[in-house]
Structure 1
């Protein structure tokens, strides 16, 4: 399947994180996740910025909720960016935590006579999705086929690691996005939980007593998992750039970083994990 046989659109949902410049540089289209404050609904990044999100959460005392774009929202979005006959690679947050991928699949079936749409479950989220979208565009510009791009995405999905630490448990408790977290809450008072991605699900890992030790654990655990080979690394944070910088410095020293970016955690993710969440995303560099 040739990427050059029609115009190739690369779509991700806003649970993916990346430096702002990548959207334009690599022609990545972002469909927003729905953010709910009580009865009000906003589109992430369209009528609700990161700063507005945290301000509203602080002022209202309401912990927001998220919902996936509906199939109708997907259909409208696809039609707004593509011409009939175009190819769309639609990359989405793990289907085990969100219905976004399922909505994309329904929309792709509805529009199958108009566009060539391939929804793809990333099995992850955050900056891993940003890296995957960028790699797809770079591969397409280098002459890769769609099948080659999908094969690379499958490789990243199998090998990506995400390790986070939370500063507050309240958001995760209410969202229910972290597996086994509800039952473990009673034993987690005054500790900083470590959250890891395992087979598309966020799982509760170690319990570390202080923020400093939690940050150290996150980096050391990523080193243990990644080994000495070259890796692409992202430091993600929710309103804690200082912790992000500390993690970046440690990661540069301890990991074989082919590339390292620092990016703010999308509010679609932060709404489920809370401000102060910080972590490391890493996967082996192509050919490394």
Structure 2
């Protein structure tokens, strides 16, 4: 049996991951008046969003190498091997720390670390694919390949309703912030082939959802797909609106899920950020 490990930026609740047999290691969230908190386990995303809205700064910290060592050492006493799938190495040192742990344990033949090159909803899709392959009896190579195949075949984009948090985090310049607000333009964000999160284009704020879904339709057409909707914040009305946009997109949807985007990703984008993701659906 192959163990599947991921980190908390896959933005799937710990209870859900545990029920599926996936092992999750949390990144840390640093609030102004508290010690480092484990994402999901010790801090709720809505608390982070509330503090951001109050003007507080929030920082994040990757999973430490020693945490990976302890996790891998324990799992290798119970599993044949481990596939460890994590957020892009271009935006976090988590993958680097995972690889350091593998070397320290001298277990290169039994642990495969996958740098997803993405995060959040996109990372979750890769983790779910790996776990399905593991449950079906896959070996180390096929479980890792299941994650890689999903990362290659899926596509997704993000956007934000407010530019304030990107400006505060230094991700856009004051000029870009001023012009964007003046013209009511918002960036459509996506990961490039090297794992960088970049602005792909800019659209009117009210057109973001339809624009992203149009891009997904251009890519997948009427082929059957598995879809996901992610939203930063427990805004049930907004989530319903996004699901309705997805249902009316023209995509041939065979399966889907919704996700609450967690504290680490939300700390850099702010509340209200949303994502649409699609991948080929295999029977």
The TM-score normalised by the length of structure 2 is 0.87
Q: Specify whether residues 145 and 215 from structure 1 end up closer, same or farther in structure 2 by C-alpha distance, changes over 3 A only.
A: same
Equivalent position of 1:188 in the other structure: 180
Shift of 1:81: 4.8
Between the two proteins, the alignment pairs up a number of residues equal to 276
- Assess, with a 3 A threshold, how the Cα gap between structure 1 residues 85 and 151 changes in structure 2: closer, same or farther: closer
Aligned residue runs from structure 1 range 35-54, under 5 A = 35-38=29-32, 40-54=35-49
Q: What is the aligned-residue RMSD (CA, Å)?
A: 2.4
Secondary structure at the aligned position of 1:15 is classed as helix
Q: Kindly state the Cα deviation for residue 101 of structure 1 after the two structures are TM-superposed.
A: 0.7
Identify the residue that residue 148 of structure 2 maps to in structure 1: 154
Report if the CA contact (8 A) 1:230-1:258 is conserved.
yes
Q: CA deviation at 1:202?
A: 1.6
TM-score normalised per structure 1: 0.86
Q: Tell me: CA distance 1:113–1:152, structure 2 relative to 1, closer, same or farther (3 Å).
A: closer
1:108 to partner: Cα distance: 1.2
Q: Greater shift after overlay, 242-251 or 116-125?
A: 242-251
What stretches of structure 1 of length at least 5 have no aligned partner?
none
Q: Pick from 158, 162, 169: which aligns with 1:164? A: 158
Which range moved further: 228-237 or 167-176? 167-176
The superposition leaves residues 121-166 of structure 1 with CA deviations (integer Å, 9 ceiling, x where unpaired) of 1121112222222222222222222212222222212222121110
Name the SS of the counterpart of 1:127 in structure 2: helix
Structure 1 residue matching 2:9: 3-state secondary structure: coil
* Contact kept in structure 2, 1:88 and 1:115, CA below 8 Å: no
> Could you tell me which residue of structure 1 aligns to residue 255 of structure 2?
259
Aligned counterparts of 1:209 and 1:193: Cα–Cα separation in 2:
9
2:40 and 2:71 map into 1 onto residues whose CA distance is 15
1:76 pairs with 2:70: yes
Render the CA deviation track for 1:149-198: whole Å, top value 9, x for unaligned. 2222222122221211101223223435x5xx437334312332221222
